[in-house]
Every structure is written in C-alpha cells, then in structure tokens.
A and B are shown apart, each in its own frame.
Chain A
C-alpha cells in the first residue's frame, strides 16, 4: 500500500465512523437545542438499540438478509425513538420548570437504568449472543453486509459496509434538514428552541413538540445503532458510553444546537480518530480528539458552526 492509498483508506474509515457519530450527535444537539438538556442517556439508548437489533437478527434467522436489514432499519428506530419519547414523558417533562440541574441528574439516572437493562439483556441466553457467555462480554453481531471490496482488486478497500453507512445516513440527514426547515412540525421545533414562551403563546403545544424532538432524536440513535452493529459486528453493554462521549464531543465541537454543526463535528471526530490511529498511535487517539475539543472551545466557545445568537437573555 503506497502512502496515498493508506491516506485514502483512512479517509474512508474515518468518514464511515464519522457518519455514525454524527447520527448520534444529531440526537444530542436537537434535544439540547430545544430544552437545553444534555441527554446523558442518549449513548445508552444507542446501545439498547443495538441489542434490540441483535435480538431481531436472532429471531429472523430464516429471512433473507436484505429483509432482515430493512426490518432492523425500521423496527430499531421505532423502538429507540419511542423509548426516548417515553423517557422524556416520565423523567424529564415534569422537571422542565425546576432548576436546570434536576433534569440533568434525571438523565444520568436514566443512563444507569439503560446500562443495567443492557447488561441484563446481554445475559439473556439466546443463540445469537455468541462470543463469551458472561452477560458483560461483547456479543458477536452476525455479518449481514459483506466485507467484499466494491472496488474490485484495488488495494483501497471500499466495502459494502462503507456503502451501507453512506446510503443510510446521507439521505437521513438531508431528510432531517428538510423536515426542520420546511414542515410545520420542524418550524414549530425551531420556534420552541428560539423562544418557548412566545411559541406557547402562538398556540403551539410545547410539550408535544419537545416529545416529537425526543422521538426523532431517539430514532436517529436507533438507525445509528443498526448501522454501527452492521459495520463493526460486535456490540457490548458499555459501548453507549464511548459512543455517547464521541457524539457529545462532536455536537459541542460543531456548535451544540446546530444540526449541520453536529454532522460536521461527527465527521471531524471520525477523521481525527482514523488519522491518529494510522499516523500517530492508537493510544494517543483519545488525547488528540479531546485536545481538539479543548482548543476549539478555547478559541471558539460556541463551536465551529454555533452562532452567538442562540444565547438567551
């Protein structure tokens, strides 16, 4: 592999991982934008999504692969979106008018609940949960999408998995942008994010709009969990922490509250990870990612695309 081929390879890996991070980051940023809550349970929601995906794969071994993938891509987002909505309804909504810290602590609590549900779920004896019988051990996710190089004999690998990541995430992001910019619900979301009281006085049901935001954010995490599981082929109950950390960093890096910012931040983190793994050392990757975060926050506290307008008076 020549120098530029290595570079190209890492570019592909970085972009694929970055897209997955971006999908999770979108959930963080949407929720933050609308209720100014950092939803710490989001990473663990992502983890539960992948466990559901594994369960579905286990139940549908008889079906053809593309049907299973389609099933995963519809059922998992429904599950995690619904779960996120339910968490908002039960754990955050009643705390919306109390001090800022209250829903935050509640979110941390939900995160622990999810983590332990994941541990329990991983311990359920099922044929598909291979690789280690202990509940906490990483689980094998069956290879549903092939690892064959789409570029034929070229040294640079662009596999069907990479293609899947782009085919799923890019339309989703375009759709989300359209949704927020053009539809009634999207406009209501932006209105609530900008001035909740004014929006309420326009007759907008703020609780419903916030619920819809949680639903969509959770749905995106569900898609991300399926794509992640198909791409990496291994899941474990603590992966929500790592993914959540990356995604949260991405959201802050891009400018929390900004949708294009979250995508850009996700890609930056993904690429930084890939290039650092290749050219520096795996051990230094986290250091580099978080150094970038610190530098951006020092010199541009609102993030790369964050605007100063968002400050509330």
Chain B
C-alpha cells in the first residue's frame, strides 16, 4: 500500500499550468527525489500536498485518506445553529413592517424603559401568519452557507500537518526570534496537552509534560547534531545549522513523511555529505522522505527512486541510474543538441 498517492494533480494559476496531471505513488519508508529544471512545478507539488494550495484538479490521498478536515458533531451543530439564526432573521425580515409596528412603535414611549417582554409578546402575535416559507428558506441558506464556508477551509496546512506530513522550506522559515529549543517545541505543539490553567497553576500535567517534551526536543536536536545550540536564538545560527534546525522542527512533529525542499542548497561538500547521512538516519526511524534537490550528488546517492518534472508534467520516473540515462531527462536539463537535429 502506498503512503502518499497523488492522483492526476493539476495546479493552475490563471492561465499558467504549474502542475499538469502529475501522478505519484510513494511507498512507506522510501526515499524519493523530485527533480527538474527551475520552474518545473516541484515546490508547487509540495504546497499542494501540505495543503498550502487547493488543487485545481486531482486528489491527494495520504495514508488512505484525503487530508481534509473531518466533519464532527460539533461542526454539524454549528451549521444548525447558523441555520436557525438565519431562519429567525429571515422570518423577522419577511414580516419586518408589521412586527416593527406591533412590537416597537406600539410599545415605544419617549424616555420610558422599553418593555421588552411586552414587545416580544406583540411580535409573536403578529408572526402567526406568514412564517413557514421564510423560515425554511432561511434555514436552507444558513446551513448551506455555513457548510460552504467550512468546505473552503477543509484543506488547510494545519490538517495536513496533524495527519503526519512535515516539511522544510526552500528559503529557510524558522521562528527567528525564538530559541532553537522553542522552535523544536513548536513542532511538537499538536502533541501537547498542557492548557493555560495547567501552566498558570503549575498542575502535575504541566511538570510532567514539560519534562517529557523538553527531553524529546533535546533528543531530536541531538539527532541532527544541534544539542549545544539549544539556548541560542534561531536567527543567530550558522546557515547550515538553520537547515538542520528546520529538519529537527519537522521531525518533532512525529511525522510519517517528511518533505525536504532543497535541503542541500548552500551547503558545502562536507555539510551535504553529513546531510545525506542524516537523511538515511531519518529513514531508519521509519519516516518516509520526499525531497526536492538540485545537487545531483545527493540525489543519485541516497534516492531509491527519482521522479523528473518538466513544465509541470512528469517526464521520467525510476531508479537513479535509469533516470540519469533517460534522453528526455538529459534534454530537459541541457536542451536539445543542435548536432543531432
């Protein structure tokens, strides 16, 4: 069974087709590289998978489900509440003139306390006739409106993250004004249960969870080799360390798959060698790795499989050696040779 299945994903921005019917299948515990020339749509695929973009067409199935917000009883209750309020408003609007006359004008005396109960009674009296149609249509409009608003918010990055998709960014996006440790703790946030009162009153849960989460965060930092920088502000780290911190923060989310967007960009040869080692160790933890990378050394060395995108379409897929020999790939990277034409 595949862990992540992208089925004919299409992303269109105005007239530009950034991703064109791309189908991918990623098995658990694989290391897959997504390569292609600049502007081939690789990062767009990442953005669609993590819920930053809503796909124009196509499906993204993660772990057997689409990564969308679940419809819970609470949400359904909220829909009915909105529907009920809209119905009441609709009934009032439909009878506005008569109700206003009976309830407000009829009871209003200058500078006297307004008799709310009497006004309510008068309003009810006048409402006896004409109410079923506006009530039903108001209910319908309210429920569908609330549902439509909710439907739009169903695919959110937050939902993908909670489902177990973690990612890093092409241009590093750390929480710069926070310490290294706090960055990693934020990655863990969804797994924490401490609430305001636990922290304010220092209840047992607060101590237990703080000890546990700090320990885990330090362990994750040790895993990427940043345990000595825990107290530093993220912005003061060296560039290579910031890249590692992004990975640590993503790992702290306890994901099933981690998407790395050009993790080797700007690293020197020694650092990218260490990165390759780190990616292997991430896989050994049972986490699937999908990466975008331009450094062919890295791609060819660690990938189980390589997928090539060009102009938003998939042009090749297979193990590193096959892909390297594929003429279509060479053409995409180097252009058509004039000699052969």
Contacts and interface: CB of A to CB of B under 8 A. Distances in A.
A195 B177 CA distance: 11
A207 to B, nearest CB: 8
Contacts of A200: 52, 156-158, 161
Interface in A160-192: 179, 182-185, 187-188, 190-191
Nearest to B234: A194
A202 B199 contact: no
A109 interface: no
B253 interface: yes
Contacts of A184: 189, 192, 194-195, 199
Interface residues of A, number: 28
Contact of A198 (B113, B175, B235): B175
B189 A188 contact: yes
A232 interface: no
B196 A199 contact: no
Given A185-B196, A206-B158, A194 B177 contact: yes
Interface stretch (B55-63, B180-188, B295-303): B180-188
B249 interface: yes
Nearest to A126: B113
A120 to B, nearest CB: 11
Q: Give the one of B52, B157, B167, B195 with max A CB within 10 A.
A: B157
B249 A202 contact: yes
Contacts of B235: 309
Nearest to A179: B196
B196 A190 contact: no
A203 B158 contact: yes
Contacts of B189: 184, 187-188, 202-204
Given A125-B111, A133-B111, A188-B186, A205 B177 contact: no
Contacts of A194: 175-178
Q: Give the one of A126, A199, A201, A202 with max B CB within 10 A.
A: A201
B161 A191 contact: no
A233 interface: no
Nearest to A182: B199
A195 B190 CA distance: 17
Nearest to B233: A309
A155 interface: no
Interface string B137-166: 000000000000100010011101110001
Nearest to A188: B189
Interface string A112-153: 000000000000111000000100000000000000000000
Nearest to A125: B111
A253 to B, nearest CB: 21
A205 B173 contact: no
A205 B185 contact: no
A272 to B, nearest CB: 30
Given A183-B199, A184-B194, A203 B176 contact: no
A202 B196 contact: no
Given A200-B161, A202-B187, A187 B178 contact: yes
A196 B149 CA distance: 21
Contacts of B161: 200-203
A291 interface: no
Contacts of B167: 201
Interface string A67-98: 00000000000000000000000000010000
Contacts of B177: 190, 194, 309
Contacts of A183: 196, 199-200
A190 B199 CA distance: 17
A199 B176 CA distance: 12
Which 10 residue pairs are nearest across A and B when measured between Cβ atoms?
A203-B161, A203-B190, A200-B157, A198-B173, A201-B157, A183-B199, A194-B175, A203-B162, A191-B175, A200-B158
23 contacts: A184-B199, A187-B182, A188-B186, A188-B189, A190-B177, A190-B178, A191-B175, A191-B186, A195-B174, A197-B157, A198-B169, A198-B173, A199-B175, A200-B157, A200-B158, A201-B50, A202-B161, A202-B249, A203-B158, A203-B161, A204-B186, A204-B190, A309-B177
Interface of B: 50, 52, 111-114, 149, 153, 156-158, 160-162, 166-167, 169, 173-178, 182, 185-187, 189-190, 192, 194-196, 199-200, 235, 249, 253
Given A201-B160, A201-B161, A203-B162, 4 more contacts: A188-B189, A190-B177, A198-B173, A200-B52
